[in-house]
Amino acid sequence: SWHPLAFTKVCARQMQALEKNYKAFENLGTVPAGLSVDTVPSKHAWARAIGVKKLRMLSDFWPHGAVARKYGIFRREGFSERANILVDEKGRVVWAKVYLIKELPDLGEVLRVASGA
């Protein structure tokens, strides 16, 4: 689950929702993660501050936004779109959705897609 920047309100709610639903994702054989262009130390400090313990917090800091660019979600402002991307075991994108920057993603939708429903 891509979020624009750490230490922002909607991004915090997005990561907390993933943390809250971690077991549901795990039960579907998926590994949820929170990704952004923030540095690793920043992501770790932010995760502690918002109570995220299980969720993998990944950094696309250097080369800056390289992974976000590959997915076509890097913005000219220097951060990623808010997006959910499901990738299979072979690294293929099986589903993706980009949201408005201020929009909180519907994890129910992501869980339905991940379950094949």
Query: For the domain that residue 48 is a member of, what is the CATH number?
Result: 3.40.30.10
> Quick check: is 13 in a domain?
yes
> Quick check: is 1 in a domain?
no
pLDDT digits (tens, 9 = 90+) for 87-103: 999 999 999 999 999 99
Enter the pTM of the model: 0.95
> Quick check: is 4 in a domain?
no
pLDDT digits (tens, 9 = 90+) for 69-85: 999 999 999 999 999 99
Q: What is the tally of structural domains in the chain? A: 1
> Quick check: is 37 in a domain?
yes
Of 10, 11, 47, 73, catalytic = 11
11 is catalytic: yes
> Quick check: is 59 in a domain?
yes
> Quick check: is 52 in a domain?
yes
82 — phi, psi (to 5°)? -85, 125
Q: Which residues form the domain of 68?
A: 9-115
